Amino acid sequence: MANHFSLGARGEERLLLDLIDVATDRLVRRVIVSDPDHPESDAAGEATARGVLAERHWSKLADYEVEEDPGAPVRQGGMSAPFRCSRASGEGLNVEYREPVLVVHDAVTGVEILRRTERTWSKRGGPRCPGCGDCPAPLASLTYVGGNRARHVLLVGVGFLGGNDVCWEPSDEFHVVVLPR
């Protein structure tokens, strides 16, 4: 998966190739494709990424449509504006993540396919920098969902809101979800 890693207030991003193990939802390899701090290494990073991709056969994921979930409660954290969590739909599936619960329904029948509490997807509040006070816990919401329903797999992007000028939100995270057969 290509991952654009924000460098915060600088307004720049690193482009990463992240390989996530489907069975464990763990990052197993990361290749820095481009880095604004080291632009001289971009060609090498791209060559390494192409080599890693050539080592295996990959299945394309369908991008699901992500939109605000009108049924979700309004939330606010830190200095961000109030918001509702997002939901996603694609390949005949509806995906909801109302922190910390992930729910997947069949869009045609309405049958619940999966319901899981994903506590590790949430971030805690507390001190993040030496000498600073406690930061509020950022609030998580869906930012991306891609899937391959035939292979029973989803890639879920989780973004965070609710920081302030001192406490930055963490970068988006990606998680693999295996759907029951």
Q: Among residues of the chain, what percentage have pLDDT more than 70?
A: 90
Tell me the C-alpha distance between 142 and 159, whole Å.
Answer: 6
Domain boundaries, the chain: 1-58, 59-181
Which pLDDT tens digit goes with each residue over 134-160?
A: 888 889 999 999 999 999 999 999 999
Which pLDDT tens digit goes with each residue over 85-99?
A: 999 999 999 999 999
Q: Can you give the pLDDT at residue 131?
A: 77
CA 37 to chain centre: 24
The residues near 97 (Cβ < 8 Å, ≥ 6 apart) are: 85, 86, 87, 103, 118, 121, 140, 141, 142, 156, 158
pTM of the predicted protein model: 0.85
